[in-house]
Structure 1
Amino acid sequence: MNPETLKRYRGRIVGLVIAAVFSVLFFTIGFWYTVAVGIFITIGFLVGKWADGDLNASAYLDALFSKRQ
């Protein structure tokens, strides 16, 4: 497979892998445990992004609570 093809479809491939992992988790450990795993993964990602200095929490909060026109 051509590396350019993989690069072009990177988002779709990552999405499919994530969906497959969460599907397996859902069927093996249950819904609420899967939700908890997803929450912990998100928290870990945000802490890592903060540690790298890439987290701009105020921009996220502004986008979340700003009125859309």
Structure 2
Amino acid sequence: MDREKQETFKRYRGRILGLVIAAVFSILFLTIGFGYTVVIAIFVTIGFLVGKWIDGDLNVSSYLEAMFGKRQ
């Protein structure tokens, strides 16, 4: 049964993570307000990107290419 739970979690981990993040930001929005919640979201994003860069997994050129590259 434990293996079945692991497989189910692996299949739905993105949805579960999205729900947890949405719940946290909803609670933050209701308790501290919109502005502070946006600032926290910005700092979390910056922290994630710095951590990804330190791990050597951040490829800035691919992001820039996706955002500003020529479309065919």
Q: TM-score, normalised by structure 2?
A: 0.89
Shift of 1:2: 1.4
Which aligned pairs between 1:11-50 and structure 2 lie closer than 5 A? Answer: 11-50=14-53
Q: What CA distance in whole angstroms lies between the structure 2 residues aligned with 1:3 and 1:52?
A: 26
Q: Measure the CA separation in 2 of the matches of 1:5 and 1:44.
A: 29
Q: In terms of Rg, which structure is larger?
A: 2
Sequence identity percentage:
74
How far, CA to CA, are the matches of 2:34 and 2:15 in structure 1?
Answer: 24
TM-score norm. by structure 1 comes to: 0.92
The answer to whether 1:8 aligns with 2:8 is no
- RMSD over aligned CA atoms reads 1.2
How big is the shift at 1:4?
A: 0.9
Structure 2 unaligned spans of 5+ = none
Structure 1: unaligned runs, 5 residues or longer:
none
